[in-house]
Amino acid sequence: MTTKDNISVAKEVLKIEADAVSALINKVDDQFDQAVEAIRNCKGRVIVTGMGKSGLISQKIASTLSSTGTPSLFIHPGEASHGDLGMVTKEDIILAISNSGETYELIQIIPAFKRMGLKIIAMIGRQHSTISGLADMYIDTSVDQEACTLELAPTASTTATLAMGDALAIALLENRGFKAEDFALLHPGGTLGKRLLLTVGEIMHSGNEIPLVSETSPVSEALLTMTEKELGVTGVIDGSNKLTGIITDGDIRRGLEKSGNQIFDQKAAYLQTKNFKWVEKSTLAINALEVMEEHNITSLFVFEDNKKSAPDGIVHIHDILKTGIL
């Protein structure tokens, strides 16, 4: 087969699968709406089950449902009949997935679900099938043809089922009023979760890691403190430990240009910048980063709720960036 032939085959596969997904639009009907409402009113979880390729698609749908606010669990139908039914409760609802609608393992386990009084939603590629007949609600995922030229390997049918599963999950998301903040709570390790949840209080330097000198300390001590803490800045505190200002490495360079080495004999209070930027511990790290970028600074002192006391910490731009927040 030539390269041109390979490209032609690939384009034909994509067209068949795209057409299969597009055709689903006209198959979303009252049965789909009933399924959404049934899941919405379910007090338990959506138990998604399927065999073979449909089983793999079932796992993805269960994962998508769970991550978008609908608690869900995949159960292998073969294992269910050998004890895994114990994971199912009377509060749950079943989503059975099969392209043929005749999957033996599903047909064997559905009576057990019915004995538990569970509602069954069938996501099936054949309306007139055994499983669709056993179900309370039927979602049509039929396709005109598979993309496989042998018409054997599930291709267009699995893509269509996956797309319908996404449609179901997002319909539920909208129905529940699920927001980005809710998504973040379920994805604390992801970039979105960090952007919406991570605060400077969780990543700041505190205690002895905070660079501080007194107002009466010489600038030379401020430089040593700055060098030791490696944050490019030191805070200046008065006799009551209140932060009165900050000195940056840039301040010292400018002082050297203006006064030479004599700048090191000056008191820290002389060189400090009193109008400095700061944030509260509860400030989101992403918002602190925006403050740094807006004012072209690399560090922010952190306070519990105001700057009338000693700082609780300090956060550097590198502390934020290394969290993977961007």
pLDDT digits (tens, 9 = 90+) for 117-129: 999 999 999 989 9
Q: Note the pLDDT of residue 301.
A: 94
Higher-confidence position of 183 and 202: 202
pLDDT digits (tens, 9 = 90+) for 262-291: 888 888 888 888 889 999 999 999 999 999
- 3-state SS string for the chain: CCHHHHHHHHHHHHHHHHHHHHHHHHHCCHHHHHHHHHHHHCCCCEEEEECCHHHHHHHHHHHHHHHCCCCEEECCHHHHCCCHHHHCCCCCEEEEEECCCCCHHHHHHHHHHHHCCCCEEEEECCCCCHHHHHCCEEEECCCCCCCCCCCCCCCHHHHHHHHHHHHHHHHHHHHHCCCHHHHHHHCCCCHHHHHHHCEHHHHCECHHHCCEEECCCEHHHHHHHHHHHCCCEEEEECCCCCEEEEEEHHHHHHHHHHHHHHHHHCEHHHHCECCCCEEECCCEHHHHHHHHHHHCCCEEEEECCCCCCCCCEEEEHHHHHCCCCC
pLDDT digits (tens, 9 = 90+) for 184-229: 777 777 777 778 889 999 999 999 999 998 989 898 898 999 889 8
What domains sit in the chain, N to C, each tagged with a CATH number? 3-178 (3.40.50.10490), 200-321 (3.10.580.10)
pTM of structure: 0.73
Interval 304-309 mean pLDDT: 73
